[in-house]
Amino acid sequence: MIRESSYGGRGLHVGDGRVRICAVTQSPDPARGWRLSNAAGVSAEINSNGSLRRFDCGAVSLLLFPGSELEGGPANLYLRRRPDAQRPADAGGAAQWTALLGPRSATVFGAEATDRQLVGYGIWEDLSYSVTLVLAERALAWFWHVQCENRGSRPQEIDLTYAQDVALAPYGAVRMNEYFVSQYIDHAPLRHAMRGWVVGSRQNQPVEGRHPWCLIGSLRSAVSFATDALQLYGLAGRVGDELPGIAGELPGRRLQHEHSMVVIRDEPIRLAPGGCAKTGFFGFALNDHPAATSAADLERLAEALALPQARAPATSRPPITPSTAGGSVQSTAGGSVQSAPDGTVQSGDRSASRSAGRSADCSATLFSSAPPLATLELDGQALQRLFPRPWRQEERDERGCWLSFFYGTDRHVVLRAKELRVLRPHGQLLRTGRHTTPAEAALTSTVWMSGVFHSMVTQGHVNINRFLSAVHGYLGLFRAQGQRVFVQLGELWYLLDVPSAFEMSPAACRWIYRHEGGVIELRSAAHSDPHALSLSITVASGAPARFLLCHQIAFGGDDGEAATALAWRRDGTDLVVSVPPGGELARRFPQGQFRITPLPATRLEAVSGDERLFVDGRSRGQPYLCVQTAPALQLGVSLRGELIVEETESPLLLRDAADLIPKLTLEVPSASVLGAQAARLGDIVPWYAQNALVHYLSPRGLEQYSGGGWGTRDVCQGPVELLLALERIEPIRDLLLRVLAAQNADGDWPQWFTFFERERQIRAGDANGDIVLWPLVVLAQYLIASGDAALLDQQVRFFDGRGPDAGERASVWEHAQRALALSARRVIPGTALAAYGHGDWNDSLQPADPALRERMCSAWTVTLQVQALRSLARALRLVGRADAAPGLERQADRVQQDFQRLLLPDGVLAGYAVFEDDGRIRYLLHPRD
């Protein structure tokens, strides 16, 4: 009855007027990585640290998150030594572990590499190992082979875990939003008699009419599994590199949430001294799996294991011994090896690993080696000094400790303890300007409590005009995205991550880091006149400190993940980052640039590219700009966009940006039982207003990486209601004219469109059945509120893809009449009820049978149909155009009568009704359904 929409219709890029997916491809420099491929279309791009940059089956990405040179990626192999009461190091009873891929691993790759195979060797404590990734020759299959040898004097029990974040969707769709992709993947755990647990994963969102599928399991026998990164990382992953699912046991149950991942744990292996064992994992894919995963799919396991590449390769023993490993074979997960300001390597409180006569630290980075700054809780006195009382809406945990509270006019404070126990992390959208209509020169930034001081920084279009990258995932999978800050304390660098406290206001956020050596405060803010975003740092307590500000620049088209040359220069004390030639942004803004300006008294000690972030000091061609400051107690920078130098249109401006947020005063007697509820309402209203203004003027969300356009329905709802409540009528007129200029000549609107002329071609190709009614509602609301009858005669062009001057000119009332005529034609035959069309308010519920578009009816859309007709008739009477009102009222009466007769036959409203050809009515979302 209902089907979901297809990936084949989603897109990111416009070239010829059609919106389509534009996957970014990148051929890595062989000196910095490897590329494997086979005749079946499987390809893997591998970073120099061994992590998977890309992993594809034809046009479908197997990876949900691309791995990077700086951090690796979620796809990994984990070697564990299981607890042994005889070993002092294991007295705590926890398993010790190490990653085998990425900058935190001791593995050195490159040996015995071929077009379909890559081998790495490493040593971890007294275990030496080899890792081999090999692709099948002519099948959609891949294999990880691991050989491990006990070079110690005691028996050891080990096991291996394979984590693979799974997308099974086009790369462009994945990069739009991984949460969306994850919600459509069905993971089905299956139990095989010999191989234990395997997981079949099916993409339920069609990819060009097909359903990609894969099966992942062990080459020996798997004892447990997980299906979401939340089960592996937990919320504790936000503050460190400890993975609960690796340090402890996997849950062995299915979770289909927002970070799709298949995790398979192999059965333990007992290694005697000198003993060697071979183990590994397989992956097998299909381009199309029409049916849901079932037990019958276990037959695919035999097909995968019959491939020659399923057999362990005839590699030699890992050529690693303590004598060739630089004299040190000690390593733990996330060993701390750092680069000092003079370029020397500084070892932290964890020992450095060495392997194969070559330092494994050659791929180590500041993000893999510098630990998060250990922050301390704030006691009551410290909290009162930082956030003066009175506090409101105090939230405490079961021990009576504070978690959050409101104070001041519009301040909300969240403490570290709450960030570590809530699923949705705390963040804020900052927007510059004091405009009440869209302003193309405005800046927008997303900030996060977890030490992301600015990210997804854009000017104008809040998706494609991007300067800094967005943060992908909320589990701490990545820490090098957006603007991040390190502080040097003593000889070591520390990453400013989750703070002791985080304060939010509508236009600024503040982070408080209390640590053993003092207190550091950071503040991010949005400014107007001119548009700017700032980051200021204050050492409130402690000695002057050196800071390193690193920025992942997102000019390259893949949100900072593509290796691109970064063009920056000094302009006095400013740093100017230019848009690189050849890309989409350069086509739009050939002279475009962003400017980083040191705040007063800020002295820059060094400015560099990504080489500053690698311990060996060598660039990997990653688009990072690093700014190292001289030791100071106060410093900072501001960010300005120079893509749009002058406004393309003159926005309506308020005298003060603070006037954008309404001030709500509720006079409720203190003894009233409603007092507490009224106070809560008073605290939340400014945030509702701020969110609505973002939705209207800079449309994107905290976890929505794409945006920059108006959903026709969305902008006609919340923003209009907010402006009406604030009695700001003139902006509604502007909004309505923009919506009418996006109307098609047939009277309909696209589901969504962009509102700046520069992006006019970026718009949806169709719309749900209710969309045609929403602009009519707004027209009625505006006329009733303003009495502006002259608007009905204003000329507005219909949309025409050939250009802004090509569309047919018509009055506003003619636009409305064309929409009314289309709505009158789109009805269930024999009734006045609006047909369902492509859908209603729930965009995901679309008819699988196209015929249902004309035969199905939504009670929700019909209710809106009556509202549009009656409110427009009332508005016309109020502005002196009463001649058109009776016809609308009669039509509304007919719709209402059919609504009560056909959708409410027994006094219980049906959600949907299907009108069959034989005259029968089938009701859905109804008690008798």
Token code pair at residue 329:
């074979």
pLDDT at position 238 is: 86
Q: What is the average pLDDT value for the chain, to the nearest integer?
A: 88
- Grouping H, G, I as helix, E, B as strand and the rest as coil, residue 738 is helix
Dihedral angle, C-alpha 513, 516, 519, 520, nearest 10 °: -50
Residue written as token pair 């070993």 = 87
* Range scoring the smallest mean pLDDT among 10-14, 263-267, 596-600: 10-14
Can you tell me the distance from the alpha carbon of 69 to that of 101, in angstroms, rounded to the nearest whole number?
A: 11
- Grouping H, G, I as helix, E, B as strand and the rest as coil, residue 271 is strand
Can you tell me the distance from the alpha carbon of 222 to that of 417, in angstroms, rounded to the nearest whole number?
A: 36
Q: Is residue 7 exposed (0-12), middle (13-18) or buried (19+ Cβ within 10 Å)?
A: buried
* Range scoring the smallest mean pLDDT among 313-322, 367-376, 579-588, 908-917: 313-322
Residue written as token pair 């299959």 = 141
Q: For residues 381-404, give the mean pLDDT.
A: 94
Q: For residues 359-382, give the mean pLDDT.
A: 86
Can you tell me the distance from the alpha carbon of 871 to that of 865, in angstroms, rounded to the nearest whole number?
A: 10
**Which helix or strand (DSSP H or E) is residue 737 part of?**
helix 729-741
Residue 427 has pLDDT above 70, yes or no: yes
Is residue 548 within 8 A of residue 628, CB to CB? The reply is yes
Is residue 107 within 8 A of residue 120, CB to CB? The reply is yes
Q: E-strand spans in 287-407?
A: 337-339, 345-347, 354-355, 358-359, 391-396, 402-407
Can you tell me the distance from the alpha carbon of 479 to that of 424, in angstroms, rounded to the nearest whole number?
A: 17
Residue 323 has pLDDT above 60, yes or no: no
Spatial strand order of the sheet with 921-924 comes to 856-858, 912-915, 921-924
Length of the chain: 929
Q: E-strand spans in 72-124?
A: 76-81, 96-99, 108-111, 117-124
For residues 585 and 658, which has the higher predicted lDDT (pLDDT)? Answer: 585
In the chain, the percentage of residues whose pLDDT exceeds 70 is 89
Can you tell me the distance from the alpha carbon of 377 to that of 235, in angstroms, rounded to the nearest whole number?
A: 18
570-629: pLDDT as tens digits: 999 999 999 998 888 999 999 999 999 999 999 999 999 999 999 999 999 999 999 999
- Short-list 730, 720, 759, CA closest to 742: 759
Q: E-strand spans in 244-308?
A: 260-266, 269-271, 276-286
Q: How confident is the model at residue 25 (pLDDT cuts 50, 70, 90)?
A: very low
- Taking CA atoms, 362 is separated from 129, 330, 616, in Å, by 18, 16, 6
pLDDT at position 48 is: 93
**φ/ψ (deg, to 5) at 761:** -75, -10
- Taking CA atoms, 915 is separated from 3, 33, 715, 847, 912, in Å, by 19, 60, 32, 14, 10
**What contacts 24+ positions apart, CB below 8 Å, involve 397-402?**
397/421, 401/377
Can you tell me the distance from the alpha carbon of 67 to that of 394, in angstroms, rounded to the nearest whole number?
A: 41
- Short-list 76, 479, 571, CA closest to 281: 76
- Short-list 118, 122, 81, CA closest to 100: 122
Can you tell me the distance from the alpha carbon of 669 to that of 150, in angstroms, rounded to the nearest whole number?
A: 75
Residue written as token pair 């060739």 = 324
Residue 27 has pLDDT above 70, yes or no: no
**What sign does the dihedral 247-252-253-258 (CA atoms) show?**
positive
Q: For residues 89-103, give the mean pLDDT.
A: 77
Q: How many CB atoms lie within 10 A of CB 68?
A: 25
Angle value at C-alpha 56, between 54 and 58, nearest 5 degrees: 140
Residue written as token pair 């491990």 = 148
Can you tell me the distance from the alpha carbon of 804 to that of 352, in angstroms, rounded to the nearest whole number?
A: 62
Residue 299 has pLDDT above 50, yes or no: yes
- Short-list 332, 264, 276, CA closest to 98: 332
Can you tell me the distance from the alpha carbon of 297 to that of 75, in angstroms, rounded to the nearest whole number?
A: 24
Residue 54 has pLDDT above 50, yes or no: yes
Write the DSSP symbol of residue 39. T
Contacts of 743 (CB under 8 A, 6+ apart): 749, 775, 798, 799, 815, 818, 819
- Taking CA atoms, 565 is separated from 45, 379, 609, 633, in Å, by 19, 47, 10, 34
Q: For residues 387-397, give the mean pLDDT.
A: 94
Can you tell me the distance from the alpha carbon of 732 to that of 177, in angstroms, rounded to the nearest whole number?
A: 31
Token code pair at residue 403:
């978690």
Is residue 493 within 8 A of residue 487, CB to CB? The reply is yes
Residue 353 has pLDDT above 60, yes or no: no
Q: How confident is the model at residue 926 (pLDDT cuts 50, 70, 90)?
A: low
* Range scoring the smallest mean pLDDT among 12-26, 139-153, 531-545, 818-832: 12-26
* Range scoring the smallest mean pLDDT among 126-130, 234-238, 430-434: 234-238
Residue written as token pair 């701390």 = 336
Dihedral angle, C-alpha 916, 836, 177, 261, nearest 10 °: -20
Can you tell me the distance from the alpha carbon of 13 to that of 832, in angstroms, rounded to the nearest whole number?
A: 39
Q: For residues 209-220, give the mean pLDDT.
A: 97
Q: How many CB atoms lie within 10 A of CB 302?
A: 10
For residues 685 and 658, which has the higher predicted lDDT (pLDDT)? Answer: 685
- Short-list 586, 602, 622, CA closest to 464: 586
